[in-house]
Amino acid sequence: MTRNPAIELRQISKSFGPVQANKDINISVMPGTIHGIIGENGAGKSTLMSILYGFYKADAGEIFVDGKKISIPDSQAAIAAGIGMVFQHFKLVENFSVLENIVLGAESGALLAPSLSKARTELAELASEYELNVDPDAIIEDIGVGMQQRVEILKALYRQANILILDEPTGVLTPAEADQLFRILKRLREEGKTIILITHKLREIMDITDTVSVMRQGEMTATLKTDDTSPEDLAELMVGRKVLLRVDKTTAKPTKPVLEVQNLSMIDDFGVQRLKNINLTVKAGEILGIAGVAGNGQSELLQVLGGYSAATGVVKLNGSEIDLSTSVSGDGQARRAMGMAHVPEDRQREGLIMDFMAWENAVFGYHREKSNQANKFFMDNNAIRKETEEKMKRFDVRPPNPKLTAKNFSGGNQQKIVLAREIERNPDLLLVGQPTRGVDIGAIEFIHQQIVALRDQGKAILLISVELDEILSLSDRVLVMFDGEIMGERQPANTNEKELGLLMAGVSEKAAQ
């Protein structure tokens, strides 16, 4: 028996100016299956999905749904064709209720009340059918990201979607929440829905998909049955060369404490306590990883240590106490002078000035140093430019042109510019936040090697990341943060994602054992 594929793309091409984002893409997904699309950042996955959801019009190619050729000029047409999309960044109205978000755009009449009551009954049916329980009257900003994602899925189902596309759905979830999502997806598959999962996480592809397509530089390099492949093969197909998936490192030889944090607490501008009595020590020659779901105080910890949020408690660097107010004696400049370097979480807002050139960015925070001054009044720009160019070459920044503005580099290369600036000053302590967020696999490998190399020189490193894989493979010790507190400490060798996941979800030390 030959069934029509639920969705089929033939020879889809799309270019933006000279950049060919998608080239001759062919995909065919059978109904009731989960199909994975994997590729590095900039491989063209998002463009392809935007074409499917009517955000862009393809330059060439055809789309078939259930064997019928359709055109998708806008999102309305995609919805009508039964395509639902769950974006990486949720498209929800934060101060609306769950119900209002679901109804928005799919109202049954000009008045709201009948639409809402109709949606309420249908929501109850969907909830029991797919085990997707949410409180319809909850306000979006009050519920967790896992719940918000459910709302997105419900939105699609309420619009009678048969094909569900999920873009990087697990990026914001705890491992437990991700497992829950996968159970829901499997359930949807049983009910005959077709699911397309876009991700850069190899493990997810292996865990849940039936078939997988690999994209590289706008082209579809392979389409395989998941059972017939391995993570290593997929990684090679993605990058085009063999990739080391685990970080190669020797055991740490920690020596004296470099950073000591005692009873650190912080209350933000809205009166919410973001850090609660944090105690930790980072020794020279080790990487201390801090795991946790985004928004549990990790960012605030970095901001406090980096000197741009005030806090109470005691922080010592190399034995001398740091001023925790945000006055001049406690600012980032003063901390740099004491041997601290900081790779902030958000490189585009905190790490770089996007409209400034690479060489200007590469000297920031160190621009007052003697070595950068030509004389009493002027900076030695030529020397800085030359030095930056060498640095860029050492850190494999492409292209190594110091006069290019920061925004013209890709995410990975921007991150390398920040890393080069901070590491090359030879700090005693490096604070790193989300070092590989939005960075492609090839660059991840390089960045990880640089961090380990710094550790091997006997420097102390505090690593904060929401990627558990990264924490587990880089750190020598792992602390888990939840709701501004340290939930516990683990050795990467003696723990697993499940145990850390429970701690990340706030299940206490004892219950976790």
Which residues are at the interface with other proteins (CB under 8 A)? 46-47, 50, 53, 55, 74-76, 78-79, 85, 87, 89, 91-96, 100-101, 103-107, 109-113, 115, 155
CB of 80 to other proteins, least distance (A): 8
CB of 460 to other proteins, least distance (A): 32
CB of 110 to other proteins, least distance (A): 5
Distance CA(5)–CA(299), nearest Å, equals: 45
Distance CA(89)–CA(167), nearest Å, equals: 9
> 3-state DSSP call for residue 128?
helix
CB of 181 to other proteins, least distance (A): 20
CB of 90 to other proteins, least distance (A): 8
Q: Looking at beta carbons only, is 89 or 241 nearer to other proteins? A: 89
H-helix or E-strand containing 181?
helix 175-190
Distance CA(440)–CA(282), nearest Å, equals: 28
Q: Looking at beta carbons only, is 78 or 153 nearer to other proteins? A: 78
Contact call for residues 412 and 361 (beta carbons, < 8 A): no
Respond yes or no on whether the N-terminal peptide bond of residue 399 is cis (omega within 30° of 0).
yes
Size (the chain), residues: 513
CB of 335 to other proteins, least distance (A): 19
Phi, psi (5° rounding) for residue 32? 70, 25
| Strand-strand pairing, 34-39 and 194-199 | parallel
| DSSP state string for 271-295 | S-EEEEEEEEEEETT-EEEEE--TT
Largest CA distance in the chain: 83
CB of 50 to other proteins, least distance (A): 7
Q: Which single residue is written with the structure tokens 């102390």? A: 460
Q: Looking at beta carbons only, is 5 or 412 nearer to other proteins? A: 412
Distance CA(363)–CA(366), nearest Å, equals: 5
Q: Looking at beta carbons only, is 50 or 388 nearer to other proteins? A: 50
Residue 510: count of CB within 10 angstroms of its CB: 7
CB of 105 to other proteins, least distance (A): 3
CB of 94 to other proteins, least distance (A): 7
Q: Looking at beta carbons only, is 100 or 345 nearer to other proteins? A: 100
Task: Give, in degrees to the nearest 5, the angle at Cα 53 between 218 and 201.
Answer: 50
| Strand-strand pairing, 257-267 and 273-283 | antiparallel
Looking at residue 142, its amino acid is: D
| C-alpha of 246 from chain center | 19
Q: Which single residue is written with the structure tokens 């055109």? A: 71
Tokens of 73: 């000029």
Tokens of 512: 């976790």
First-last CA distance in the chain: 51
Q: Looking at beta carbons only, is 71 or 508 nearer to other proteins? A: 71
| Strand-strand pairing, 194-199 and 163-167 | parallel
CB of 112 to other proteins, least distance (A): 5
CB of 54 to other proteins, least distance (A): 8
Distance CA(503)–CA(211), nearest Å, equals: 33
Q: Looking at beta carbons only, is 45 or 459 nearer to other proteins? A: 45
Q: Looking at beta carbons only, is 85 or 481 nearer to other proteins? A: 85
Contacts of 128 (CB under 8 A, 6+ apart): none
CB of 158 to other proteins, least distance (A): 11
Q: Which of 481, 420, 35, 26 is nearest to 266 (CA)?
A: 481
Q: Looking at beta carbons only, is 103 or 322 nearer to other proteins? A: 103
Q: Looking at beta carbons only, is 14 or 283 nearer to other proteins? A: 14
Distance CA(434)–CA(320), nearest Å, equals: 27
Q: HEC profile for 333-372?
A: HHHHHCCEEEECCCHHHHHCCCCCEHHHHHHCCCCCCHHH
Q: Looking at beta carbons only, is 58 or 343 nearer to other proteins? A: 58
Q: Looking at beta carbons only, is 41 or 405 nearer to other proteins? A: 41
Q: Looking at beta carbons only, is 81 or 452 nearer to other proteins? A: 81
CB of 126 to other proteins, least distance (A): 17
